[in-house]
Copies of this chain bind each other. A is one copy, B any other.
């Protein structure tokens, strides 16, 4: 145990739960951060709370921000339908404008306030939905910006944004998490769950998740509607 503090962005999904397990395994004292951002599927916040609790985090905070104020995404605007997997070319309608930029900005503020310089985010750009804010170029550029935006600009410490899943396939992520004891039955990936929180099995995110478990040769604990 290094006992060093780290901020972990925790969505309640498979990737961020794995990311939290990796941070914990590296010996960090974990401060989980989730967002209530006007998303359709608030079931993810319940799952995030369970995952955080099970992982024994030092704290789990939920920040309330209303990205639905201006819509612009199928995940925050009920008037835009969630497409089935493979229906979209380019950046899909489930993309939420600047979401990871906002999330990482809050993480940097929180980190600075509690004296941490380590932030974990579960982005990956192999089995992903094509969102620009999941790519390595963005994470690298954000790191530089955060180091200029904060006291890090004038002091010796610098932020490190850990994106340990960046170049892993979904199969590799699931195998890694399983080896670290992640209970994937607590996680949810679906862009369009029903009222009971059950996954649709048809959206892009469900398709990636299903294929990942199949390729990893690990039983998929997801409950599909």
Contacts and interface: CB of A to CB of B under 8 A. Distances in A.
A128 interface: no
A189 interface: no
Interface string A75-119: 000000000000000110001111111100110111011100000
7 contacts: A61-B69, A70-B109, A101-B105, A101-B108, A101-B146, A101-B150, A138-B145
Contacts of A223: none
Nearest to A62: B69
A150 B102 CA distance: 11
B141 A98 contact: no
Interface string A123-163: 00000000011010110011011101111111000000000
Given A91-B151, A97-B109, A98-B105, 4 more contacts: A71-B113, A97-B151, A101-B109, A138-B148
A66 interface: yes
A114 B98 CA distance: 13
A197 interface: no
A63 interface: yes
A164 interface: no
A64 interface: yes
Contacts of A150: 97-98, 101, 132-133
- Interface size for chain A: under 10, 10 to 19, 20 to 34, or 35 or more residues? 35 or more
B141 A148 contact: yes
A65 to B, nearest CB: 6
A67 interface: yes
Contacts of A138: 145, 148-149, 153
A141 B159 CA distance: 15
Nearest to A110: B70
Contacts of A145: 101, 138, 141-142, 144-145
Contacts of A65: 63-65, 106
